[in-house]
Each structure stands twice: as structure tokens, then as C-alpha cells.
Amino acid sequence: VQLQASGGGLVQTGGSLRLSCAVSGRTFSRYDLGWFRQAPGKGREVVAVITWSSGSTYYSDFVEGRFTISRDFAKNTVYLQMNSLKPEDTAVYYCAASARGTLTNPRSYYTAPNQYDYWGQGTLVTVSS
């Protein structure tokens, strides 16, 4: 499975960006897909997740309703729409795919980086103040 992330860039505080992640190599619909980010000097943290089975979504608390994760089966692509960006959103953003299958608890999600099997190369988002 290969993942190709794109859409990062420089934006002012309050601006918007849409990240895209094209997935190829295996059946797109069988993976939970996540967006993670890593700021300089910090660990990688989950931003949002969308499950393959139901399309349900998870967002980290810091998102505060500003971001939306979505997927397009026809294009084998997952998106992260980011609005009302803040300087603290500055990071390299990574898309990832987990092949671990559906969790028993429908309210559970894969949120740890080590639960993901495939990673894109990352795209840099810089939010200026």
C-alpha cells in the first residue's frame, strides 16, 4: 500500500487548507485511515481518523470542530479539510492506513501511530501569526 499526501503550504492564522492523501496498492475500503501531525521537537499525534467499515470519525480534542476528515472511494483518496487554522497547527501532517480491522467497540478508534501499518511521506503545514 502506498500513500501520497499533498496540499500543505503556508497560510495565515484563520485560513484554510485541504490536505489530500491518495491511497494505492490495495483495496482502499479495507483500511482505517488517519491523519497525524508532528511539530518540531514533539511526538507524532493523531489529528483525525475515519473507519473503513462505517465511515465514522474521530477527532482529537484540539481540533475543536475546525477540521473535517472525509474519504472518496471513487478516487481512493482521504481528505483533511482544515479551517480556522492557528499557529499551533504548524506541523508536518501525515496520512496513514491501518489494516488491523474493525474494533469490537464501535466507539473505539485506532489513534496510536504504532497501530498504523502504512504511512505517507508527510506534507508541511505552516500557519503564520
Pairing of strands 67-72, 77-82: antiparallel
**Per-residue pLDDT band at 30 (split at 50, 70, 90):** confident
> Mean pLDDT, to the nearest integer, of 64-83?
95
Per-residue pLDDT at 115: 96
CA dihedral 86, 92, 95, 96 (to 10 degrees): -120
**Per-residue pLDDT band at 48 (split at 50, 70, 90):** very high
Say if residue 97's pLDDT is above 80: yes
> Mean pLDDT, to the nearest integer, of 47-55?
90
> Mean pLDDT, to the nearest integer, of 16-32?
86
